[in-house]
A = this chain, B = another copy of it.
Amino acid sequence: MTEAERDRLTPRQRAVLECALELLVAGGERALTTAGLARAASCSKESLYKWFGDRDGLLAAMIAHQASKVRGFSDMGETMDRERFRAHLLGFARDLLEVLAGDVSLALNRLAIGQASREESPLGRLLVAQGRRRIDRSAKALLEAGRKAGLINFSDLDDAYRTLYGLIVRDLHVRMLLGEGGLRRPEAFARQAEQAVEQFFVLFGVREMAGE
Contacts and interface: CB of A to CB of B under 8 A. Distances in A.
A178 B29 contact: no
- A interface bracket (residues with beta carbon within 8 Å of B): 35 or more
A165 B169 contact: no
A117 B110 contact: yes
Contacts of A173: 171, 174
Contacts of A125: 178-180
A118 B159 CA distance: 37
Interface of A: 27-31, 107, 109-110, 112-114, 116-118, 122, 124-125, 127-128, 159, 162-163, 165-171, 173-175, 177-180, 195, 199, 202-203
A179 to B, nearest CB: 4
A107 B168 CA distance: 26
A167 B169 contact: no
12 contacts: A28-B116, A28-B118, A29-B117, A110-B117, A113-B178, A114-B114, A124-B180, A127-B178, A128-B178, A163-B170, A166-B166, A166-B167
Contact of A178 (B107, B112, B118, B203): B112
B113 A117 contact: no
Report how many copies the assembly holds. Answer: 2
A193 to B, nearest CB: 13
A178 B127 CA distance: 9
A162 B171 contact: yes
A29 B118 CA distance: 10
